[in-house]
Structure 1
Amino acid sequence: MKDINIYTSTNGTSWTLIKSAQLSKVSGSWINVNLDATISTRYLKVESVNSWGDFFYSHLADFGVFSN
């Protein structure tokens, strides 16, 4: 398991923490994140808590995003 923080952004520059979680090393693991529909979220960033600089971010469309 790896401790991570998940951030959201509307512009890819200014980030807001929305969830802290543990990510399994198993491929295809899921983390559920509730995004406020009133906020224009365009980017998500997943950042490792334990190692400096170990992060990536991407346009929301690059993640597996499902709504109901």
Structure 2
Amino acid sequence: MNGSGRQRSAIRPGLEVDIVLKQDQRTGKTTRGIVKDILTKSADHPHGIKVRLQDGQVGRVKSILGGGAGEDQA
């Protein structure tokens, strides 16, 4: 799996990810959470796919940590 967060196809609701919030872009500080919505429409983005976490925070995915519910079900 592409763990960088730049490919939209690698990100699904329910995945645990580290994101960088807009206000943290200068420092690179990451915030961990579960993906609720994918906001980037393009297939990839050089700075990471923009997502909304379940707690409402919005940022760009820096790393994909692990699977959420149903990851292994095809």
TM-score after normalising by structure 2: 0.31
> Which has more radius of gyration?
1
TM-score after normalising by structure 1: 0.33
